[in-house]
Structure 1
Amino acid sequence: MPVSERQLAEFADKHAWQVPLDTSPRHLAGPGDARHVTHGLAAAGWTRISDLFNTHMTLASPDHRHLLEFTPETGSLARWWHLSTRLSGRDEPYWNASFGALTPAEVIGGMTDALTTPPPTAQPDPWHPLEAAGWLRDEHGAARSADGMCHIEQHRHSKSRDMPDWSVYVREPSVNGYLGPLLWHARFRYNTPAHLVDAFLTALTDTAPLQRGKFDRTAHPSAVQTASLLSPAQVVTAHTHRIKPITAQTRTTPHPHQPGTSRTPAPPTGAAPPNPAPASPQPPHLRPAH
């Protein structure tokens, strides 16, 4: 179901009183508003399948092939977001991606938006957005941001060398050659489609600042914050304008049939209809994510 007017109004109420600050670089901007992720998925037809009164939120895609879990009650260094395929015996191999508490929601939203649209005919090279952003590569092939605090690593896996693991580490600055404490970590296990990794890294390396309220948490005090040219109303409008095209596309896209069912072809003209099969149980009505 699409995002309701009430849900958009609640988002507006949250941001209407905040004076937005342009915050960069993105890997230090902090978590932001989780609804940058959940509203996009709800607009694409994802539904909540967890207890409405539980802070642990689980969303399922319309075809029930993918799950997103949000567990904000865990520790700040633990994964707060977990995106995965369901083990349903389909042709798509199992994969999962996880993101720490301080991962910007807008960056995760770049990946989830890519998941709700048809994949490209040819998978991209996720190194390209890093190279385009001027991130440096070290002798081991890993990339790092200009401030040295964000590191991107690729790990080839014996089971799937064409679809390797990817890891993103954001740490405090190194001291005397020792790695600084971990701020947040993202992990894409092998078999994660390259276009989803590419979408995440493209959003992460975008030089456009993210908007944060004055008292919003950033990942590190060295994040640069300046008064934004956007008003609070414009921040809300930008969010709404992102959601509406997703909703419109979802309404015009044929809804996939539920897993475990099949379509029965129509009988030829004049033929007697086949004996009706027992109806497959339909999943219960699910409320959209807040």
Structure 2
Amino acid sequence: MLPDPPLDPFNNFGPDQEVKVLPRHLAGPGERDLCEIWPFPFDSGWRLHPAEDGMTFSSSPCARVWTRLVLEPDTRGQGMWTIGASRIPFGPTSWQIVFDVTTPAELLHDVPAELRDRYLWDRSNDRAYLFNDETAPHTAYAPLFAGGWSHEANVQGTQTFRSPDGLGAVRYRFAPGTLRGPNDPAWTAWAGDWGTPQWKARFARNTPATLVAAFTTSLISTEPLHRTLKDVPLDFRHRLNTTAATAHQPPARPPAAPPPTGPAPRRTQ
């Protein structure tokens, strides 16, 4: 006899019921709000370029930092969010970050927010931390230890961190020989099974560790995410901690902070 399927904790909720859910990696993508996910100062030189065929592009005033959204609804990840940086305008990509569109929106937001702050600090102080970040890699995986994620390493030069529920993972390839090219991911994160993940994120070699740390800090945050029931992935409903939310207050969009005058800001330590 087959075991009974897991009970759906949302049986008593309607499809439009708003709920607060944890853990974040199983919450589903949420709302795809460009101005929320890309919190750039578009009124101060950043440009937003809508394009045809499901693509939207933004770029910094110096055209060295850019983001792109490409929608591919018929694919597993439903498209890609990409962040890239070049040492010269429109030159070869120095590093890039790629997220599936199915990645929770709140995780997406916190990386461009850190990118914005780093960019403004670099511009104000004539520095290039986005290209010469000396932050140690452990800054990026320390939040995972703090969140109770397990850790394993192998002799091939790979560390893997897994969430307490076993359904979230971050993999770091620290041995140089494991990376083939500049856009080969040094960091990979996903939810669900490796072969058919709910979402996947990839951070190429040379990506500033501060940007990876912004992502991992958001990943283990215990602040619940707001979702409507119909947007919560069916496969993971029985693994979520949920409470009903009678009123959904969207997160405030803080204006771009003025460039600080002290040392380079660090969101995570």
TM-score by shorter chain over 0.5: yes
Give the length in aligned residue pairs. Answer: 219
2:243 matched to which residue of 1? 227
Q: How does 1:99-118 map to 2 (within 5 A)?
A: 99-118=99-118
Cα 1:220–1:64 change in 2 (3 A) is farther
Cα–Cα, structure 1 residues 170 and 42, in superposed 2: closer, same or farther, change >3 Å? closer
Q: Aligned pair 1:123/2:135, yes or no?
A: yes
Per-residue CA shift, 1:90-125, capped at 9, x if unaligned?
999700011113211100111110000036886252
Match for residue 28 of structure 1 among 22, 26, 29: 26
RMSD: 3.3
1:150 aligns with 2:165: no
Cα distance change, pair 64–186 in 1 and its aligned pair in 2 (3 A)? same
Amino acid at match of 2:152: D
Partner of 1:70: 69
Identify if the C-alpha distance between structure 1 residues 170 and 219 changes in structure 2 by more than 3 Å, giving closer, same or farther: farther
Which structure is larger by alpha-carbon Rg, 1 or 2? 1
Q: Residue 246 in 1 paired to residue 244 in 2? A: no
Does 2:150 align with 1:136?
yes
Q: Distance in 2 between matches of 1:47 and 1:89?
A: 14
In structure 2, what residue type is equivalent to 1:123? Answer: T
Which residue is equivalent to 2:192?
A: 171
Tell me: CA distance 1:246–1:62, structure 2 relative to 1, closer, same or farther (3 Å).
Answer: farther
Partner of 2:48: 48
Letter in 1 for 2:59: A
Cα distance in 1 for partners of 2:227, 2:153 equals 36
Distance (Å, rounded) in 1 between the aligned partners of 2:135 and 2:246: 35
CA contact (8 A) 1:61 1:67 kept: yes
Partners of 2:173 and 2:40 in 1: how far apart? 34
Contact 1:151 1:168 in 2 (8 A): yes
Take 2:234 and 2:69, find their aligned partners in 1: how far apart are those partners?
19
Q: Does the CA-based 8 Å contact 1:167-1:186 persist in structure 2?
A: yes
Greater mean deviation of Cα atoms: 185-194 or 71-80:
71-80
Contact between 2:144 and 2:217, CA under 8 Å: does it hold in 1? Answer: yes
1:154 to 1:253, Cα distance in 2 relative to 1, 3 A: closer
Q: CA deviation at 1:139?
A: 4.1
Percent sequence identity is: 25
Contact 2:167 2:192 in 1 (8 A): yes
Unmatched segments (≥5 aa) in structure 2: 1-15, 122-128, 261-269
More strand by share: 2
Structure 1: how far apart are the matches of 2:244 and 2:153?
Answer: 38
Bigger Cα displacement from structure 2, 203-212 vs 219-228: 219-228
Q: Give the letter for the 1:199 counterpart.
A: A
Question: Whole-Å Cα distance in 1 between the matches of residues 90 and 221 of structure 2?
Answer: 35
Query: Residue 185 of structure 1 aligns to a residue in which SS?
Result: strand
TM-score normalised to the size of structure 2?
Answer: 0.69
How far, CA to CA, are the matches of 2:231 and 2:198 in structure 1? 16
TM-score by length of 1: 0.65
2:70, 2:211 → 1: CA distance? 21
In structure 2, distance between residues paired with 1:220 and 1:80: 22
Helix, strand or coil for the counterpart of 1:59?
Answer: strand
Whole-angstrom CA distance in 2 between matches of 1:230 and 1:110: 26
Separation in structure 2 between the aligned mates of residue 89 and residue 55 of structure 1, nearest angstrom:
24
Q: Read off the aligned partner of 1:231 and give its amino acid letter.
A: A
Give the Å deviation of 1:142. Answer: 1.0
